Amino acid sequence: MQVSSHSSFTAVIIGGNGAGLSAASKIKRLRPSARVLVFEKGPHVSYANCGIPFWLAGDVPQNNLILLSPETLQQKRGIDVFPRHEVIAIDRRAGAVQVRHCETLREFKVAYDRLLIATGARPRLPDWAIAEAENVFTLRDLQSGQALKQALSGSLNRIAVLGGGYLGLEMAMVFRRRGLETVVLEQAARILPGFHEAISAHVQAYLERQGVTVITGLQPGEPRYQGPRLQSVRLSPEGRNIQADGFFMATGIVPNVELAQTAGLQLGSSGAIAVDDTLRTSDPRIFAAGDCIEVRHRMTDEPVWLPFGPAANKQGRIAGANMAGERQRYAGALGTSAVTIGELEVARTGLTLPEAQRRFNPVEHVFVQTQDIAGYMPGEKQATVVLIFRKRDGRLLGAEMAGFHGIGKRIDVLATALQAGLDVRQLAELDLSYTPTIAPVWDPILIAANAAVKKLSV
């Protein structure tokens, strides 16, 4: 299919954040004469949603979170941005979208030559939760952040965080730093259930040292409301009631695929939108990028849903290039991710132990607990490193870390090793940097790699 190159070429983008705006900018760079229209359901575009916890903690002023205003996007990049405009339908045959203004409810149709779906993801609440209750909070955008900010400056004293994943634990420490009595409820047997148990234990010990209560292995339910306020949940099977002034729901997210699904576009096995490696959907004129799509896992070649910010931005740029007529490939993802919980950094890359066992059995793993900087330096410094590798040849399959100094970026060494297909013997031979502020003489990665090599040779 040849993209017409006269000036009437129109790209429509649904979603005005990382993936959508990366695509829009790329299209305008490659085809300055193109019309690029971005429709965003919410009131804000181009905001730093990963920065919201730091705004809530008081580290960052709200203004800093708005990266580019619609005016700037128009003036500097020639992108037409429409906040509070929801795309409610895609008419694939006509090559047009139906748009509704969120306040006036006025509707109109816009024709596209190329369409990008960058609708992102949204929080998934448990069945029993009433999202509208005035003290039930989520965090996905500036609006939900604003509600929480308001509550934090009010009379909130005790908060229950439902969900012991990245967001729940990151926010638990924000609440704690704001002086709230904070309890984390994770229904799995341990927090960060996707991680090795040594990481979960490291993080839980840290949270408890910081005064956060952690309750695992019990399922919250049976809510008790008083008027518009949730008062407590009951933990089963134990039966204890957890009372709180506020309930923060960090019980996972789901991709926003309804629009694509209604338009008859193919979804993948993960439930997210299926795309090929040029990020094209099952309709050749429609692309998709960001938290609403599934991608190829580089270790298994299987489609997976890995909704992380850097991937969304990279995908947006590639989708934009392809919408503008180039042909760029998205190489897939390793699932590299990181979070800062108070002062503690937690990160992972590649396959988890169960994922590795499913695909590469027999699989070995090691975990070591060591210092992340020179032992004589001041400051907390315990690090936990987990390496997961194939028994046959030592090929690295995944890695996880928790610690205080440089852990979040140290995982990138292992992400690089995964992409290059290194084995643990090669890891043990890495020439890594050293100075007392950043590492011990034997970097935690080398200590873990040496332990892995030993395990291979028995």
Query: Does the protein bind a second copy through residue 72 (CB under 8 A)?
Result: no
**Span interacting with a second copy, options 43-51, 254-262, 269-277, 387-395, rule CB under 8 A:** 43-51
From residue 216, alpha-carbon distances to 141, 205, 237 in Å are 28, 13, 12
Q: How far apart are CA 375 and CA 356, in angstroms?
A: 33
Q: Considering only residues 345, 355, 400, 423, which one is a binding residue for a second copy as defined by CB under 8 A?
A: 345
Query: Does the protein bind a second copy through residue 310 (CB under 8 A)?
Result: yes
From residue 402, alpha-carbon distances to 275, 347, 368, 408 in Å are 33, 7, 11, 8
Q: How far apart are CA 190 and CA 399, in angstroms?
A: 19
CB of 324 to a second copy, least distance (A): 16
Query: Does the protein bind a second copy through residue 45 (CB under 8 A)?
Result: no
Q: How far apart are CA 329 and CA 100, in angstroms?
A: 33
Q: What is the DSSP-derived secondary structure letter of residue 3? A: P
**Span interacting with a second copy, options 80-88, 284-292, 340-348, 357-365, rule CB under 8 A:** 340-348
Q: How many chain residues touch a second copy (CB under 8 A)? A: 64
CB of 412 to a second copy, least distance (A): 5
Query: Does the protein bind a second copy through residue 430 (CB under 8 A)?
Result: yes
Q: How far apart are CA 312 and CA 53, in angstroms?
A: 20
Catalytic residue numbers, as ranges: 50
**Span interacting with a second copy, options 27-35, 53-61, 88-96, 145-153, rule CB under 8 A:** 53-61
Query: Does the protein bind a second copy through residue 436 (CB under 8 A)?
Result: yes
Helical spans, DSSP H, in 216-373: 258-262, 309-323, 353-360
* DSSP string over 246-281: EEEE-S-EEE--HHHHHTTPPB-TTSSBP--TT-B-
Q: How far apart are CA 283 and CA 295, in angstroms?
A: 17
**Of the candidates 222, 154, 225, 216, the residue with the CA atom closest to the CA atom of residue 185:** 216
Neighbour-count burial for 262-280, b at 16+ CB within 10 Å, e otherwise: ebebebbebebbbbeebbb
Q: Considering only residues 151, 333, 351, 363, which one is a binding residue for a second copy as defined by CB under 8 A?
A: 333
Binding mask 361-400 for a second copy (x = CB under 8 A): -------------xxxxx----------------------
CB of 130 to a second copy, least distance (A): 31
Nearer to a second copy, 218 or 374 (CB): 374
Q: How far apart are CA 125 and CA 140, in angstroms?
A: 12
**Span interacting with a second copy, options 69-77, 179-187, 203-211, 305-313, rule CB under 8 A:** 305-313
Query: Does the protein bind a second copy through residue 76 (CB under 8 A)?
Result: no
CB of 221 to a second copy, least distance (A): 31
Query: Does the protein bind a second copy through residue 131 (CB under 8 A)?
Result: no
Query: Does the protein bind a second copy through residue 60 (CB under 8 A)?
Result: yes
Nearer to a second copy, 187 or 336 (CB): 336
Query: Does the protein bind a second copy through residue 410 (CB under 8 A)?
Result: yes
CB of 15 to a second copy, least distance (A): 16
- Encoding tokens for residue 116? 């990008």
Nearer to a second copy, 212 or 295 (CB): 295
Query: Does the protein bind a second copy through residue 458 (CB under 8 A)?
Result: no
Nearer to a second copy, 1 or 420 (CB): 420
Give yes or no for a contact between 391 and 362, defined as CB atoms under 8 angstroms apart: yes
Query: Does the protein bind a second copy through residue 413 (CB under 8 A)?
Result: yes
- Encoding tokens for residue 336? 């590299």
Q: Considering only residues 116, 338, 363, 397, which one is a binding residue for a second copy as defined by CB under 8 A?
A: 338
Query: Does the protein bind a second copy through residue 21 (CB under 8 A)?
Result: no
Query: Does the protein bind a second copy through residue 409 (CB under 8 A)?
Result: yes
Q: Which own/partner pairs from 266-269 qualify as long-range (CB within 8 Å, at least 24 positions apart)? A: 268/294, 268/303, 268/305, 269/294, 269/303
Query: Does the protein bind a second copy through residue 4 (CB under 8 A)?
Result: no
* DSSP string over 151-210: HHTTT--EEEEE--SHHHHHHHHHHHHTT-EEEEEESSSSSSTTS-HHHHHHHHHHHHHT
CB of 417 to a second copy, least distance (A): 6
User: What would the 3-class secondary structure string for 394-425 be?
Assistant: CEEEEEEEEECCCHHHHHHHHHHHHHHCCEHH
**Of the candidates 392, 374, 345, the residue with the CA atom closest to the CA atom of residue 436:** 374
Q: Considering only residues 327, 420, 457, 458, which one is a binding residue for a second copy as defined by CB under 8 A?
A: 420
Strand-pair partners of 276: none
**Span interacting with a second copy, options 70-78, 99-107, 272-280, 425-433, rule CB under 8 A:** 425-433
Residues that bind a second copy (CB under 8 A): 18, 48, 50-51, 54, 59-60, 64-65, 67, 298, 308-311, 313, 331, 333-340, 345, 347, 349, 374-378, 406, 408-413, 415-417, 419-422, 426, 429-439, 441-443, 445-446
